[in-house]
DNA sequence: TGAATGTACACCAAGTTAGTATAATATTGC
DNA sequence: GCAATATTATACTAACTTGGTGTACATTCA
């Protein structure tokens, strides 16, 4: 019942980009150092964030990465699902064929888990990076 | 972000025991057949449920397993944590020493995740097996 | 005693996770 | 054009987790 370390890194990479001026770029090297993320691992996960449309990348000298949306329009759910894939809290909800009980439709347990899952996704989608910026800004030491 | 298959089996084992008369026993063999769970795997997870105080076991002929509480007093969270261990949705929340950011206390991302985690646990603890019985009873075909 | 049951411990194959290695490609500035 | 700075692409790997099996033993009841 965990998000992967990779998704945790991704949240922090997006957070770091959120702290920059709108449209500003940061190289993977800088993000890696600032957020203490292994560089090569970061490079790989940034591809996923790009494929998901959350960041844009720029090659060459002065290249790097920038958010492709405003911080307020990027949720935790967006980032986590970009990295880990869609959230399914159990196997049956992911692939009903694998349900070795009666099937999701007829199984009260799986129905109940489904409701929990949807609440979880709603909670994660209600947090965006503007919230995080605001919280940090007001508590700056 | 999933519960294990083992936890899913455990929910169904507890559910099956809930359908019996209060205090009634069922052998692992019967539970395995009724719920389509591999027997040896079931035996192992029943130990965890016993260690967690959710079921009682009885050895010998006419032995088996019985709930040690009423269905209404066993929540999904109880069962899932008995099998998978405490729920922590990311590594930092499990072991703050492993947080390679500033630490949970000073990291807004991890604080936000913590809140999501607590909501998730609350949701899971709000579902008990009497609910599931009631739902199934009213929809019996 | 013997059949039916649970207990304990060890083992294992497959998949996932977190990370590394290497080589290639694109952009900029001189 | 060339060097330097970046990203991209592909492949590899060690460690861990998951889902499951095997074997031997202990307990209870008839």
A104 confidence band (pLDDT: 50, 70, 90): low
B92 confidence band (pLDDT: 50, 70, 90): confident
For range A98-105, the mean pLDDT: 63
Instruction: State the Cα–Cα distance between residues B32 and A104, nearest whole angstrom.
Output: 19
CB contact under 8 A, A135 and B5: no
Name the pTM for this structure.
Answer: 0.93
What DSSP designation does A68 have?
A: S
b/e burial code for range B53-73 (CB count within 10 A of at least 16 → b):
ebbebeeeeeebbbbbeebee
B9 confidence band (pLDDT: 50, 70, 90): very high
Instruction: State the Cα–Cα distance between residues A127 and A5, nearest whole angstrom.
Output: 19
Instruction: Measure in Å the smallest separation between the Cα of B136 and chain A Cα atoms.
Output: 7
Mean pLDDT of chain A: 92
B6 confidence band (pLDDT: 50, 70, 90): very high
Q: Which residue has the tokens 């069962």?
A: B79
B141 confidence band (pLDDT: 50, 70, 90): very low
A102 confidence band (pLDDT: 50, 70, 90): low
Query: Which range has the worst mean pLDDT, A30-44, B26-40, B50-64, B83-97?
Result: B83-97
Protein CA at A41 to nucleotide C1' at C22, angstroms? 15
Nearest to A112 among B88, B90, B132 (CB): B132
For range B29-35, the mean pLDDT: 97
Domains of chain B: 5-135 (1.10.10.10)
**What is the per-residue pLDDT for B106?**
67
Question: Taking CB atoms and an 8 Å cutoff, what residues of chain A touch B37?
Answer: 100
**What is the per-residue pLDDT for A100?**
66
Query: Which range has the worst mean pLDDT, A37-51, A61-75, A100-114?
Result: A100-114
Instruction: State the Cα–Cα distance between residues A55 and A66, nearest whole angstrom.
Output: 5
């Amino acid at each position: 019942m965990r998000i992967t370390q990779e998704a945790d890194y991704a949240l922090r990479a997006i957070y770091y980009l959120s702290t920059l001026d709108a449209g500003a770029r940061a190289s993977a090297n800088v993000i890696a150092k600032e957020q203490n993320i292994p560089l090569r691992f970061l490079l790989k996960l940034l591809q996923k964030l790009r494929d998901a449309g959350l960041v844009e990348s720029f090659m060459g000298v002065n290249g790097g990465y920038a958010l492709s949306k405003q911080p307020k329009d990027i949720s935790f759910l967006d980032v986590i699902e970009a990295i880990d894939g869609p959230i399914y809290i159990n196997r049956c909800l992911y692939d009903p064929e694998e349900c070795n009980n009666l099937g999701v439709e007829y199984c009260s347990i799986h129905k109940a888990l489904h409701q929990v899952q949807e609440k979880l996704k709603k909670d994660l989608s209600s947090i965006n990076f503007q919230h995080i910026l605001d919280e940090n800004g007001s508590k700056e030491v």
